[in-house]
Amino acid sequence: MKSLQAYGKGHAETLTGELKPPVTAAAAEAEKKETEKEKQDAAAEREKKEKDAAAEREKEKKEQAAAEKSAKKEKAAAAEREKAAAEKSARKEKAEIQPAVKKTLAIPQGNNKRGRGDSVDHERRHLQNRA
């Protein structure tokens, strides 16, 4: 290693033992600007990453809300289908009972109802209301 005094004032020695030339004011200013620019670039990059992450979180929130809403709609639709199926079943069951009621009431029951149509209608209505 060479002595710093041999090169004069302002030289700096690197870790490998090489000597750097003295730093001039213009070079120092350029280095300072470059460092400042690097800091700004790094800050801008960080800010961009944060924005992207925030946008991603917001997007995930919206997707989750949409999925929940869709699931809720699907559940409501399933309940509606089940209700409609139950109604249809009830109507079908009632329709099966009604012809049997009409058949049994078509023939008057007992001697006192022969030839008297309105009493048969009354009896039919009575049984239909009970069913």
Reported as a pLDDT band with limits 50, 70 and 90, residue 15 is low
**What residue type is assigned to position 125 of the chain?**
R
Torsion, Cα of 65, 66, 67, 72 (10° steps): 90
44-78 pLDDT, tens digit each: 999 999 999 999 999 999 999 999 999 999 999 99
- Which pLDDT belongs to residue 127? 76
Collapsing DSSP to helix, strand or coil, 19 comes out as: strand
Q: Which residue has the tokens 């058949």?
A: 103
pLDDT at 108 > cutoff 70: no
- Which pLDDT belongs to residue 110? 57
Listed by start position, the domains of the chain span 20-130
pTM (predicted TM-score): 0.39
